A and B are shown apart, each in its own frame.
Chain A
Amino acid sequence: MTRVTDDIIIRAVARVMIPFIQLYALYVIMHGHHSPGGGFQGGVILGASFILYLLTHGLEEAKIRMSEIKAGLFSSFGVLIYSGIGLLCLILGSNYLDYGKLSTILKVVPAQARSLGILGVEIGVGITVMAVMFSVFFDISTGGELPEDEE
């Protein structure tokens, strides 16, 4: 069980920092096709922001923000985006995750379709990584015990 910190400095600074950490994570995800970073790195940062909230404000308050069920749903939702884009390419008649074919749906040139496809895949990866990171930490901090109403 994670104990809530009683240090007011850590709590207050974490409270102020968390929105900026989350925005930075989204920046890393969204600019993954231009600069270093991408879905995994951004997802880890985003998950770290929730973990920081859990560490500083305790399990009960973190549950309000991101519950175990939500984390599970998000982790599968991200995989759904990833594999959905991949299968869409397969349906359109090219290889799995070959984004060039998406240009027929998106009505853009193939190069831009590739860029957008990679962005979509990275968003999916980011969501999954965030949710899995958080749920791993959540499981560690609860000792693997699910509350009765969430079983």
Chain B
Amino acid sequence: MEVTVLVQATDKAFEILEKARNEARELLYSSAKLTSEAKSLAEKREARAFLSGAQQSRLAFRNFTITFFILFAFWILLSGRFDLFHLTLGIICCLLVSYMSHDLLFANTRVGDIRIMVRRFFSAGPWFLGQIFSANLHVAYLALSPKMPIDPQIIRFTTKLESDISWVALANSITLTPGTITVDIREGEFFVHALDRKVAYDLNTGEMEDKIAHVFMEADHVYVQDVLDVSRIFGALK
């Protein structure tokens, strides 16, 4: 008897609570709808949906121009003739190729300033060269020592990188470093053959991956650029 009363009482209490919550929610919604801010938000969203087409075409145009200039530099490198006729031919050919495949060269690039990427790429070069040099010495030591203390193993790790081109960059820099070879990439999981324990340990620390992420502005390095941009704006304001 007492139990049923108790249950009924709690039920009622819950019901009242629910009703109050619904009322509060409805009130909130209606007030939010009534405010002009919500209206402008909806308008903004519509405008963004409308603009995305224009943005897409702007992005395509940017890709087209960048591809054109890269290809034209390549053409000049190949041709080596600077008379008007050959330069005109080069411009026509570059326009043709950029028209045919401007979406290929920068298919999966993420948002990010390409100038920063290029600068970071060249500043990361010496580190990679040093890494290759030290790995060379290590592999030479392994090969020359009479005991040959190798310990071949295949290690597997999941990368934090996101785009295909950075995966390829990581895979190729792993392969370029003596002692390690990328065997396969499956869904962001790397299979790497390592010659001995030290090499595998060096790879597992993830320093190389971090460098690549820094160059391509991915994973946790994407925010660094935002900070940089804000600082630039503040500098301009001063």
Q: How far is the CB of B100 from chain A (nearest CB, A)?
A: 6
Contact of A16 with B104 at beta-carbon distance under 8 Å, contacts A23-B74, A23-B75, A23-B93 already known: yes
Is B78 positioned at the interface, with any CB of A under 8 Å from its CB? yes
In the complex, are the beta carbons of B67 and A19 less than 8 A apart?
yes
The answer to whether B75 and A12 have CB atoms under 8 Å apart is no
Given A19, A23, A34, which contacts B104 in the complex, CB threshold below 8 Å? A19
Query: Contacts A11-B164, A12-B164 known; A23 to B105 CB distance under 8 Å?
Result: no
Contacts of B167 in A (CB 8 A): 8-9, 12
Which chain B residues in 13-55 approach chain A with CB under 8 Å? Answer: none
Q: A8-B167, A9-B185, A12-B168 are in contact. Are A27 and B105 (CB under 8 A)?
A: no
- A27 and B81 alpha carbons, distance in the complex (Å): 12
Most B CB within 10 A of own CB, among A7, A11, A27, A31: A27
Complex CA distance for A15 and B109, rounded to whole angstroms: 12
Q: Is the CB of B71 within 8 A of A23?
A: yes
The reply on B180 being an interface residue by CB < 8 A is no
For the residues of B in contact with A, the DSSP-based class is helix
Whether the Cβ atoms of A65 and B75 lie closer than 8 Å is no
- Selected from B107, B171, B184, B185, the residue in CB contact (under 8 A) with A15 is B107
Residues facing B in A10-25 (CB within 8 A) are 11-13, 15-16, 18-20, 22-24
Q: How near does chain A come to B7, taking the closest CB pair, in angstroms?
A: 59
The count of residues in chain A whose C-beta lies closer than 8 Å to any C-beta of chain B is 20
Given A16-B105, A27-B79, A30-B93, A65 and B100 contact (CB-CB distance below 8 Å)? yes
A19 contacts B168, C-beta separation under 8 Å: no
A34 vs B98: C-alpha distance when bound (angstroms): 25
**B169 → chain A closest CB, angstroms:** 9
Decide if B129 is an interface residue (CB 8 Å cutoff): no
Nearest residue, chain B, Cβ from A19: B101
User: Is B164 touching A8 in the complex (CB atoms < 8 A)?
Assistant: yes
Known: A8-B185, A12-B165. A19 touches B79 (CB 8 A): no
Tell me if A18 and B75 are in contact (CB < 8 A): no
Inside 8 A of A8's CB, which chain B residues have their CB? 164, 167-168, 185
B75 adjacent to A19 (CB under 8 Å): no
A125 in the interface (beta carbon within 8 A)? no
Give Cα distance in the complex from A92 to B55, angstroms: 52
Q: Tell me if A121 is interfacial: C-beta within 8 Å of chain B.
A: no
B217 within 8 A of A: no
Cα separation A13 to B165 with both chains bound (whole Å):
8
Asked whether A19 and B78 contact (CB < 8 A) given A12-B168, A26-B97, the answer is: no
29 A-B residue pairs with CB within 8 Å:
A7-B184, A7-B185, A8-B168, A8-B185, A9-B167, A9-B172, A11-B164, A12-B167, A12-B168, A13-B168, A19-B97, A19-B98, A19-B100, A19-B104, A22-B97, A22-B100, A23-B71, A23-B78, A23-B93, A24-B78, A27-B78, A30-B86, A30-B89, A30-B90, A30-B93, A31-B79, A31-B86, A34-B81, A65-B101
Using A16-B165, A22-B100 as known contacts, list a sample of 10 further A-B pairs with CB atoms less than 8 Å apart, ordered by residue number in A: A12-B167, A18-B101, A18-B104, A19-B67, A22-B97, A23-B78, A26-B97, A30-B86, A30-B90, A34-B81
A residues bordering B, Cβ < 8 Å? Answer: 7-9, 11-13, 15-16, 18-20, 22-24, 26-27, 30-31, 34, 65
Q: Which residues of B contact A (CB under 8 A)?
A: 67, 71, 74-75, 78-79, 81, 86, 89-90, 93-94, 96-98, 100-102, 104-105, 107, 164-165, 167-168, 171-172, 182, 184-185
